[in-house]
Amino acid sequence: MRPPAPKANVMGRAVDVPVTLKIALPRVPGIELVALQGLEHLARHLGIAADKVGEARIIVTEAIINAFEHSGPDTTEVRVEFTMTADELTIFVRDSGRGFDPKTMVERPSVTSRGMPSRRGWGMKLMRSLSDGFEISSGKRGTTITITKRLS
């Protein structure tokens, strides 16, 4: 995925060596903020532009809240993994919950019959819109979403 040519360094840091941060989050309100903090720390280290980081923040937030909200009450842990270079971010978010069939998932209408935006059903749309690659693998043993985002 990464380009083979060595990259310029940002202030002496080797920005072409991927850094990986892995977190297993417990079901605690707002715990996704800890993952966001990790994301922002890596991004600052690699000198990523603020707009890219802001978009990644939305993706990560939506992925984690979906995992806790939809995987079932037995899910006590959601695993998150960021792999980042100056060029690209890969995000994994995994739960071991009830799963769903992304193909038959009825993408809810994004407007109601009155023409207003729907209240819910925005997570998938936001993640897709703000990323460059979006894959779901889901089954009885849980759901993993893998998202890639270009950062340069």
Ligand X SMILES: Nc1ncnc2c1ncn2[C@@H]1O[C@H](COP(=O)(O)OP(=O)(O)O)[C@@H](O)[C@H]1O
Residue 60: what residue type?
V
Q: Count of H helices and E strands in the chain? A: 3, 5
- CA-CA-CA-CA torsion sign (108, 109, 115, 116): positive
**Taking CB under 8 A as the criterion, which residues in 94-113 touch another protein?**
110-111
User: Residue 86 CB, nearest distance to ligand X (Å)?
Assistant: 29
Residue 105 contacts ligand X per CB under 6 A: yes
Closer residue to a second copy in complex, CB, 76/129: 76
CB burial class (10 A; 0-12, 13-18, 19+) of residue 86? buried
At residue 150's C-alpha, the angle toward residues 147 and 152, to 5°, is 160
Q: Among 13-21, 30-38, 44-52, 66-74, which window interacts with ligand X (CB under 6 A)?
A: 66-74
Binding site for a second copy (CB under 8 A): 19-31, 33-34, 37-38, 41-42, 45, 77
CB atoms closer than 10 angstroms to residue 152? 14
Closer residue to ligand X in complex, CB, 85/143: 143
Cα torsion through 72, 35, 32, 53, rounded to 10: -120
Q: Among 25-33, 83-91, 97-105, 141-149, which window interacts with another protein (CB under 8 A)?
A: 25-33
Which one of 5, 11, 28, 50 is in contact with another protein (CB under 8 A)? 50
**Residues interacting with ligand X, by CB under 6 A?**
66-67, 70-71, 95, 97, 99-100, 105, 120-124, 143
